[in-house]
């Protein structure tokens, strides 16, 4: 018997969904029947993805807001109505990608703030905004896209790793607090992904020493793609994922392993 991942009648809010993995998640949830609230910091990107979903017959609205602004988050959630599924995908790995990395001893507090505000406080804000309604409806799903950096550490990316580990810890606590209300909370920990930020490396320098060094630790010698993530996310959000909670599931091409 075929497994049907049907999210018809559910509303999902996906942060950072205007490009990359977030866009892939938005399209996948729409394909499963969910009504998608497409968030991005830039309104034109959110609207473009929402238009793409609607063009395929799906239901979507664009919601441009900054996840680091709690008032803006709560206003957007109120405008959207009850959110059944939250996907915390918005993240900040550094505006310059791999070029922004530095040893922790060479950083200052002002360098830490962008990582903490988006990767940790953004998750706190969005989760806090949707959770009371999920409790009232005795059903909900909270999925947070974290990073292998938060599981294994990341030399020259310590603050990013700390923020992602903090978000993962929040998820485990939510699983304990909200399981009695029919809510599950899980993390998906990503390895190196091919995203718009890293596209120049993979498109133009795939054979460079830097690219080869990045992939040397991966059992599957390629960067991750959005479609490597989306099916798992939809499964966890569906009724088939109702007994999976508090977990951090690596999707990382075999870079590291979890028991």
| Residues involved in catalysis | 160
CB atoms within 10 A of CB 107: 14
* The total number of residues written for the chain in this structure: 259
**Rounded to 5, what percent of the chain is helix, strand, coil?**
50, 15, 35
> DSSP letters of 142-156?
EEEEEEHHHHH--TT
The residues, any chain, with a CB within 8 Å of residue 247's CB and separated by 6 or more, are: 186, 187
Minimal CA–CA distance to 258: which of 177, 191, 193?
191
Instruction: For residue 141, count CB atoms less than 10 angstroms from its CB and return exposed for 0-12, middle for 13-18, buried for 19 or more.
Output: buried
């Amino acid at each position: 018997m075929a497994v049907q991942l049907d999210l018809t009648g559910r509303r999902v809010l996906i942060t950072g969904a205007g490009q990359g993995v977030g866009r892939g998640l938005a399209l996948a949830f729409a394909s499963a029947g969910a009504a998608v609230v497409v968030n991005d910091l830039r309104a034109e990107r959110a609207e473009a993805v929402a238009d793409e979903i609607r063009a395929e017959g799906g239901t979507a609205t664009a919601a441009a807001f900054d996840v680091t602004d709690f008032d803006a988050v709560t206003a957007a959630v109120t405008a959207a109505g009850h959110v059944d599924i939250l996907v915390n995908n918005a993240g900040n790995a550094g505006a310059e990608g791999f070029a922004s990395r530095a040893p922790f001893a060479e950083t200052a507090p002002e360098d830490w703030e962008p990582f903490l505000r988006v990767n940790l406080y953004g998750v706190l804000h969005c989760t806090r905004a949707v959770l009371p309604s999920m409790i009232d409806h005795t059903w909900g799903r909270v999925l947070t896209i974290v990073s292998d950096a938060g599981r294994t550490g990341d030399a020259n990316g310590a603050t990013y790793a700390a923020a992602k580990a903090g978000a993962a810890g929040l998820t485990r606590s939510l699983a304990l607090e909200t399981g009695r209300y029919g809510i599950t909370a899980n993390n998906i920990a990503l390895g190196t992904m091919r995203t718009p930020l890293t596209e120049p490396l993979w498109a133009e320098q795939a054979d460079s020493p830097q690219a080869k060094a990045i992939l040397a630790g991966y059992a599957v010698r390629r960067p991750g793609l959005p479609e490597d993530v989306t099916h798992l996310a939809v499964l966890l959000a569906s009724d088939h994922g109702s007994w999976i909670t508090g977990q951090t599931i690596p999707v990382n091409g075999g870079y590291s392993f979890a028991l």
